[in-house]
Chains A and B, each alone.
Chain A
Amino acid sequence: MSDKKPISSVNDFVVRFANVNGSGSASANEMFARSILRHGVPVSPRNIFPSNIQGLPTWYEVRVTEDGHLGARGGVDMMVAMNPQTWDKDVAGIEPGGYLFYDSTKPMPSTKFRDDITVIGVPLTAITNSTYTDPRQRQLFKNIIYLGALSALLEMDPKLIEQLIGEQYKGKEKLLSSNVHALHLGRDWALQNLKCPIGLRVKKSDKVGDRIFIEGNSAAALGAVYGGATVCAWYPITPSSSVAEAFTAHCKKFRHDPKTGKANYAIVQGEDELASIGMVIGAGWNGARAFTATSGPGISLMTEFIGLSYFAEIPAVIMNIQRAGPSTGMPTRTQQCDIIACAYASHGDTKHVLLFPEDPAEAFEFAAAAFDLAERLQTTIFLMLDLDIGMNHRLSRPLKWDEARQYDRGKVMTAEMLEEGRDFGRYLDVDGDGIPYRTYPGTHPTKGSYFTRGTSRDRYARYSEEGPVYADNMQRLVRKFETAQDLVPRPLQANAERPTKYGVIYFGSTTPAMDEAIGLLEARGHQLDRLRIRAFPFHSSVASFLAEHDFVYVVEQNRDGQLRQLIVNENGIDPVRLVPILHYDGSPITARFIAKAIGDHQDHLKVTPLRKAVS
């Protein structure tokens, strides 16, 4: 049947499930991923879903990776094709020598297959219909039945899957036993009728360690709980809604007064993004730690308030779970495309602090840190996640909290300080860091009140349209932004084994693919020093890195090279030395893509002597 040798691989392959959304496949697919983790083998799953509730195609991809490569790999070794709508494309996407798993209840013409892949038919509908009569049960258990069949084909330990089912349906015995039954229906059918295992196999290992399996949005929301956020105002928008939903769930667990049962937090679903950020600004002005979560279109709507936060100096945290733009763009596809929109959000001269976490563990840490930074710097802090980190389960180091850590509430003048006669100027720089003191409303009967406004004012918050007074304030804001450089997470540098003139800069969700690509590039003989940027404003080490290398690749997931633009703009360097490596089709960037793009460029550079290429 095959003119290509079937792929043979243990603990290193990609399985993709093609489903119809709303069919209940998500939980079975997730269980597949989790059960491989229980074998001690790392996985990296990705949900590829439409902006729709029922009926459109959806895919779930599981990269099984003993080596722990958590970026998307590209290519599919085994397709579980459960969606007739996307059949042709799904079959075409299988790697030569790969496997096609399908529901063989209805015969398919041979033209619908390929002769360079292994076709595995399981009569899922027939098995399901002979066992279940209820339509919803048929739909749900069909998913568990294919999970059972896959466990036989991939030589997985059924006990580990049963254990997972047991944990999921703890206390719901009826559901538990019926799920286990369905699992074995599929597994037994495969064992009796098919050659098991196939070339792709899962073998027990010990590579997962103490890592946890969590979505970035949930981790960021927990970071907000640990970071002391008490006010959350939000408006539903994919892919950020699960931040607010996770914050709600975490708060229900961790934030109710044990005695009274009352809430130590307030969550309001706003009528739009303008109201959401307005509430955050109001709460921040009044001394509470407040945040909102949104995505690109929400950022566009919020920009007027972001400018107010910058100019009137009000703490706020915005979690931006980026998706493909512009406009409505591709709401359920990932990109890193709001870098410029956030860095310079709002009219007039503005600059904002951005944090770029690479994974859920950093999403947790940076989210908590964002509240300290917001109050220290009295401005908006953006936590720049994206759909790839936010909405996918990612294997991540455990979340950690230092018990001795205190919140940094920034420069707040208290009633006692006012009483001592301290000079209070709301926009007065007392120690050169550009950050003034603020007072909370209601602090003192006669001292420390001021009128907050988006119009220009002097150091004592008195309205002024005097040119020098305005310029003085704008200069102080620049000083404050310079102070921010040393407060935000620093870039992390990893040098190649041998000294090299070439470097690569990357950030956020590109990290796992970049780490993997370095190995692929080394295999091709290319040595690169790496710098992972974790925040804007850029630390001085970014400029040093640029100075130390002739050429620096900037890898990012947008069309226009937004981080590259920001680096060029903020460091005033020759753009020719920064080579953009851009991936922006809405799918997560892969190591294969990066290695090819950089590798080809490097090969090209080696043909022509470097100095000539530049001049």
Chain B
Amino acid sequence: MTYIAKPKFQHPGLKKNDLGYTHRDYEGKVSTLCAGCGHDSITASIIEACYELSIEPHRVAKISGIGCSSKTPDYFLGNSHGFNSVHGRMPSVLTGANLANRDLIYLGVSGDGDSASIGFGQFAHSIRRGVNMTYIVENNGVYGLTKGQFSATADRGSKSKKGVTNTDNAIDLVAIALQLGATFVARSFSGDKTQLVPLIAAAIRHKGASFIDVISPCIAFNNHAGSTKSFDYVREHNDAVNRLDVLVGRDPIAVDYAPGTVQVVEQHDGSKLALRKLDADYDPHDRLGAQTFLARHAAKGQIVTGLLYVDPDAEDLHEHLNTVETPLNTLEADTLCPGSAALDKFNASLR
């Protein structure tokens, strides 16, 4: 959606990751979102996380719905296939794509209108099924592309830019994801990249349904006094329960953590998550505890962020369906077609 060409020139001294890719190899087109949009910080965090993980950019499929957030896959991973599908239906398109080829990394990008309103059902059911994906909601509480209507995540009592007070209750997607059995649940803030980048990296390495709700203020329509999704409000009410480091193929834990403050979680693929506890009572393995903790803090007007729940031994939809290891989209007639002899036998059974 851009008319500005990005120069191909790269500084020869640009740092390279383990695969020899530079940061630039993970970038996409120039963003056409408003200057200062929270979504652009999330785009930058996705680029950073993929670079850090040394992912082959073309092995990622980026799928979105409709809205400002759903435009962003054009702005990162330019060598990946992207699919800007229909409003609220990213989860089903992603699920189908995942069924077709289990070997790619699936990144679903959505917004609060896309996932909490029109696509609430698809959001819920893709989580329920345990689709192996990283599902990011860029949550600004407002319909930006249609100029400022409330979305379903807007808090009750919050004010729109035009001064209207929202009287509907808000949907907390993190609470729903926990209830529906997501095996990796996090919340973050687009203004806190140091928290967000490792969360995205960990979610990508997680096998199963990973969900990240990223509060991402809308600079044009939801960044005023009275909004509960503005930069100022989120900064003031952010209650981070932990800080995360993702360790892939490196020494397990850096030594500079004070004893007792770090919890190490080993994921199925061998990656390690080092969690620095900020809240001593918070246990990210306790689904019920997390739900209670969230509800209690939400009642106090606090926005709980961090890695809220992880099940390192999660299963995904392919395991439930017992599908072959070979991607289904590579199977040919020799495997798929039972042949004429089997058909003759089938005919004989119907006489």
The finding on whether chains A and B are genuine partners in a shared complex, rather than unrelated, reads yes
Question: Which A residues form the contact surface with B (CB < 8 A)?
Answer: 37, 208, 210-214, 222, 225-226, 228, 230-231, 233, 254-255, 257, 260-268, 270-272, 274-288, 290, 304-305, 308, 398-403, 405-407, 439-446, 449-455, 463
Which residues of chain B come closer than 8 Å to A281, judged between CB atoms?
85, 92-93, 96
Look across to chain A and name the residue whose beta carbon is closest to the beta carbon of B128. A271
Question: Which B residues form the contact surface with A (CB < 8 A)?
Answer: 1-2, 56-59, 61, 63, 73-74, 78-86, 89, 91-101, 103-104, 121-122, 124-125, 129, 317-318, 321-325, 328-333, 335-340, 342-344, 346-347, 350-351
CA distance A233 to B125 in the complex (A): 13
Q: Nearest 7 A-B pairs (CB), nearest first?
A: A282-B96, A278-B92, A279-B96, A288-B100, A441-B81, A287-B329, A286-B100
Tell whether, in the assembled complex, residue B58 and residue A282 are in contact, meaning their CB atoms are under 8 Å apart.
no
CB distance from B53 to the nearest CB of A (A): 16
CA distance A290 to B99 in the complex (A): 10
Contact of B343 among A230, A401, A446 (CB under 8 A): A401
Tell whether, in the assembled complex, residue A445 and residue B93 are in contact, meaning their CB atoms are under 8 Å apart.
no
Tell whether, in the assembled complex, residue B92 and residue A270 are in contact, meaning their CB atoms are under 8 Å apart.
yes
Tell whether, in the assembled complex, residue A398 and residue B58 are in contact, meaning their CB atoms are under 8 Å apart.
no
Look across to chain A and name the residue whose beta carbon is closest to the beta carbon of B89. A278
Tell whether, in the assembled complex, residue B83 and residue A304 are in contact, meaning their CB atoms are under 8 Å apart.
no
Question: Besides A285-B93, A287-B330, A451-B82, 17 other CB < 8 A contacts?
Answer: A225-B337, A230-B328, A262-B323, A265-B323, A270-B125, A271-B121, A278-B93, A278-B122, A282-B93, A283-B96, A284-B100, A290-B100, A400-B340, A403-B339, A441-B101, A450-B81, A454-B84
Look across to chain A and name the residue whose beta carbon is closest to the beta carbon of B103. A442
CA distance A399 to B342 in the complex (A): 11
Q: A266-B99, A274-B122, A282-B92 are known contacts. Are A225 and B338 too (CB-CB below 8 A)?
A: yes
Tell whether, in the assembled complex, residue B94 and residue A264 are in contact, meaning their CB atoms are under 8 Å apart.
no
CA distance A285 to B86 in the complex (A): 14
Which residues of chain B come closer than 8 Å to A275, judged between CB atoms?
89, 91-92, 95, 121-122, 125
Tell whether, in the assembled complex, residue A445 and residue B56 are in contact, meaning their CB atoms are under 8 Å apart.
yes
Contact of B324 among A226, A263, A288, A454 (CB under 8 A): A263
Selected A-B contacts with CB under 8 Å, 26 pairs: A225-B337, A225-B338, A226-B343, A228-B331, A230-B328, A231-B328, A263-B322, A264-B335, A279-B92, A279-B93, A279-B95, A281-B85, A282-B83, A282-B98, A286-B61, A286-B101, A290-B99, A308-B85, A399-B343, A407-B332, A442-B101, A442-B104, A449-B80, A449-B81, A449-B82, A451-B82
Which residues of chain B come closer than 8 Å to A443, judged between CB atoms?
58
Q: A264-B328, A449-B58 are known contacts. Are A279 and B337 too (CB-CB below 8 A)?
A: no
Tell whether, in the assembled complex, residue B340 and residue A401 are in contact, meaning their CB atoms are under 8 Å apart.
yes
Tell whether, in the assembled complex, residue B333 and residue A286 are in contact, meaning their CB atoms are under 8 Å apart.
no
Q: A230-B329, A233-B96 are known contacts. Are A445 and B58 too (CB-CB below 8 A)?
A: yes
Look across to chain B and name the residue whose beta carbon is closest to the beta carbon of A364. B343
CB distance from A324 to the nearest CB of B (A): 28
CA distance A611 to B82 in the complex (A): 61
Which residues of chain B come closer than 8 Å to A401, judged between CB atoms?
337, 339-340, 343
Contact of B100 among A208, A254, A283, A402 (CB under 8 A): A283
Look across to chain B and name the residue whose beta carbon is closest to the beta carbon of A307. B86
CB distance from B168 to the nearest CB of A (A): 23
Q: A262-B324, A271-B125, A286-B100 are known contacts. Are A452 and B81 too (CB-CB below 8 A)?
A: yes
Tell whether, in the assembled complex, residue B340 and residue A402 are in contact, meaning their CB atoms are under 8 Å apart.
yes
Which residues of chain A come closer than 8 Å to B333, judged between CB atoms?
228, 405-407
Contact of A282 among B63, B323, B350 (CB under 8 A): B63
Tell whether, in the assembled complex, residue B78 and residue A264 are in contact, meaning their CB atoms are under 8 Å apart.
no
CA distance A446 to B343 in the complex (A): 44
Which residues of chain A come closer than 8 Å to B82, judged between CB atoms?
449-452
CB distance from B119 to the nearest CB of A (A): 9
Contact of A288 among B61, B91, B101 (CB under 8 A): B101
CA distance A263 to B328 in the complex (A): 10
Contact of A213 among B56, B79, B332, B351 (CB under 8 A): B351
Which residues of chain B come closer than 8 Å to A454, judged between CB atoms?
84-86
Which residues of chain B come closer than 8 Å to A440, judged between CB atoms?
81, 101, 329
Q: A213-B351, A271-B121 are known contacts. Are A286 and B329 too (CB-CB below 8 A)?
A: yes
CB distance from A609 to the nearest CB of B (A): 53
Q: A264-B331, A449-B80, A451-B82 are known contacts. Are A212 and B96 too (CB-CB below 8 A)?
A: no
Q: A279-B99, A449-B80, A451-B73 are known contacts. Are A230 and B336 too (CB-CB below 8 A)?
A: yes
Q: Which of B125, B322, B350 has the most CB of A within 10 A?
A: B350
CB distance from A397 to the nearest CB of B (A): 9
Look across to chain B and name the residue whose beta carbon is closest to the beta carbon of A260. B324
CA distance A454 to B57 in the complex (A): 23
CA distance A442 to B79 in the complex (A): 9
Contact of A445 among B79, B329, B346 (CB under 8 A): B79
CA distance A222 to B347 in the complex (A): 11
CA distance A210 to B332 in the complex (A): 31
Which residues of chain B come closer than 8 Å to A230, judged between CB atoms?
99-100, 328-329, 331, 336
Q: Which of A210, A231, A445, A451 has the most CB of B within 10 A?
A: A451
Tell whether, in the assembled complex, residue B350 and residue A214 are in contact, meaning their CB atoms are under 8 Å apart.
yes
Contact of A222 among B81, B125, B336, B346 (CB under 8 A): B346
CB distance from A39 to the nearest CB of B (A): 13
Contact of B79 among A228, A288, A446, A455 (CB under 8 A): A446
Which residues of chain B come closer than 8 Å to A290, judged between CB atoms?
96, 99-100
Look across to chain A and name the residue whose beta carbon is closest to the beta carbon of B93. A282
CA distance A452 to B80 in the complex (A): 11
Q: Which of B2, B321, B324 has the most CB of A within 10 A?
A: B324
CA distance A455 to B121 in the complex (A): 24
CA distance A497 to B300 in the complex (A): 88
Contact of A453 among B2, B78, B84, B351 (CB under 8 A): B84
